[in-house]
Amino acid sequence: MINNKTIFKTGVPEWLVIVSIFAVLLSSVLLFALSTADGMAAAGYYGATAADVQFSLLMFYAAVASFAVVERRFFARVVTKDYLLICIVLEILITYCCYHTREIGLIFALRFLQGIVNCGLTSISLNLLFNRLKSEHAKETGYTIFYGMILCVSPLTALFSVPIVENYEYNVVYKAMIFCFLPSAALLFSLLNRVHILPKTHLLKIDWLSFVLFATMLVLIAYVLIYGQQYDWLEDQTIVVAILAILLLFMVSVARQRSLKRPAVDLAIFKSRNFAIGIVFLVILYLIRGAFGLTSSYFISVLGMDSLHANEIMILNIAGVIAGSLIAIRFLTRQKHLRVLWISGFVCLFVFFVWMGQLFASEAGTVNFYLPLFLQGLGAGMVMSPIVMFIMSSVPDNMSQSAASVGVFVRFSTFSLSLAFINFFQLYFKGKHNDDLRGNLSLLDFNLPERLKIYQSALASRGMLRDEASKAAVGLLNKAVQKQTFLQFCVSYYDWVAVLCLFSILLIALQPVISRTVINLRNKQPAAAGF
């Protein structure tokens, strides 16, 4: 690693360096969830479905996860300042193209390219940040800060984009993103000297074929998990072909990595017991984390909040993430009681899901959700970065990049799987509860005619004709039924997730090896981190 004084220009204040790095890092994080910050607005603007909007998010994520296997060697070949300039120019050009297109297919391609460039920007920012942190546990602190930002990505992106979407066309968010990103990137660029942060390598050593194989496989995984429900899974030939292609690509990739002298992913990492334990808990955490999005959907769909108000409440969750991250840093720097930290975090998550299951109702005051939202953030902040660093510490230094690449792959796959679970179980539970609810409704029910009359009177009082009011009243009743079925789905799904949290707590209690593992990242270089 190059000496700190040669990386940035002489005389630049340390606070300005840190601010510029964090500004670029934050802009990179905001790009991740930009397409789903207001899913309904995005779907309406592009004439797409909710599945298309989710797929555009996963295209970005697939690019980050696949390019991570080769990004470090590419970074090492190019001068850091030149690499940053390349990323800045490409990011602006791609984002500008997103601003000027309404074709959802083109958006898929552009979001994938955006993910590749974003992987480079994140890698530059993390390497520069870790280079400035001089304490003994600098990397533990750096990773905790970064993953704390990742946990806050959805509400932060929504707070940034929703006011824009409410006042302008949806595509304006991309123009706003350019104006947000350009000043911070230009500032960081102006502060850097032309040096190599990483030891220089030759571009011919970059395993581009591994990247192509991984990228194709991840895109197909995203396609199957997002569109499988819509096409009835194995009833559709396209889904079947995609699954077969995934299996073939997986086998080819494994065989290829085993045959290479310098593989992009060293499969020897799976020989580590701790690595396998960490991956299991990473999968569980991302399944649990994926369920949290239903809380925002509940605020909007059931309580009738606007998107901005629903995400303003999430500031309490952000505060919880900050508090949980601070606690995690404290535990990590002391290098003990890691199992206590994990159990405490999952207990907070368990309490949140049980509590929210009791709070879900057709009408509720927002003040009732403040403490549960804080608890969710507290629990997530306490376990997210420690699990990632547990995985990194479980392998030798020379395999840390392979561990990071596998971790990104697992996070992508589990995040995609959580979206598929929510889509599937939402349809299942809504159908079940809808049938049960409608089965109890008939004209013989004493409350039904009365409810219809209330709707009719309310509509008639606003000037609607009696015949039209009668038809509209039935529509309002159907809407009320749909709201109740969604509410019941949220309760049922959160009950299942609470059980998963409880299972995780018991599993951690039975693994004393967790507390015996020392988190040590001093000799491990930061990788292009996934979200």
- Tokens representing 406? 């596998």
The distance from CA 475 to its chain's CA centroid, rounded to whole angstroms, is 36
Give the pLDDT score at 216.
94
Q: Provide mean pLDDT across the span 127-135.
A: 76
- Tokens representing 163? 């006011």
Q: Provide mean pLDDT across the span 135-140.
A: 67
Which secondary structure element, helix H or strand E, spans residue 518, and what is its range? none
Give the pLDDT score at 55.
92
pLDDT band at 474 (very low <50, low <70, confident <90, very high): low
CA dist 91 and 103 (Å) reads 19
- Tokens representing 247? 């299996």
First-to-last CA distance in the chain? 26
Residue 316 near residue 447, CB atoms below 8 Å? no
- Tokens representing 437? 């609810």
Q: Provide mean pLDDT across the span 251-280.
A: 85
- The C-alpha R_g of the chain, in whole angstroms, comes to 25
* Range in 43-47, 202-206, 342-346 the model is least confident about: 202-206
* pTM of the entire predicted model: 0.86
Residue 328 near residue 387, CB atoms below 8 Å? no
The pLDDT of residue 246 is above 90: yes
CA dist 1 and 282 (Å) reads 30
Give the pLDDT score at 531.
46
pLDDT band at 338 (very low <50, low <70, confident <90, very high): confident
- Taking only the tens place, the pLDDT of each residue in 65-88 is 888 888 877 777 788 888 899 999
Give the pLDDT score at 444.
41
CA dist 393 and 275 (Å) reads 8
Q: Provide mean pLDDT across the span 443-467.
A: 55
pLDDT above 70 coverage of the chain, percent? 82
- Tokens representing 531? 């979200």
